Amino acid sequence: MRMTTGDLYRLANDLAAEHGPAASDYASRAVMTLEAEGAHDRAQFWFLMMVLLADINSGRIDPEASITVH
């Protein structure tokens, strides 16, 4: 399954809206658990979610704005 940048952005926004700052903790725990299990591709996905969630929670990106990729 392929996800676009917009898909990832919307998913991170949904997680942040549903779980608030705890979403970052969930993503971090998923990364650690999946890496320990050897599921590196899945861990990489959750690492990306962790980065996007941190940006959303800190206000560096606005989940309601259009995506700009540099």
HSE on the CB side for 42, CA within 13 Å?
A: 10
What are the tokens at 8? 């990832």
Summarised one tens digit per residue, pLDDT across range 29-55 is 999 999 999 999 999 999 999 999 999
Summarised one tens digit per residue, pLDDT across range 3-37 is 888 888 899 999 999 999 899 999 999 999 999 99
More confident site: 44 or 62: 44
Given a contact cutoff of 8 angstroms between Cβ atoms, the answer to whether 59 and 18 are in contact is no
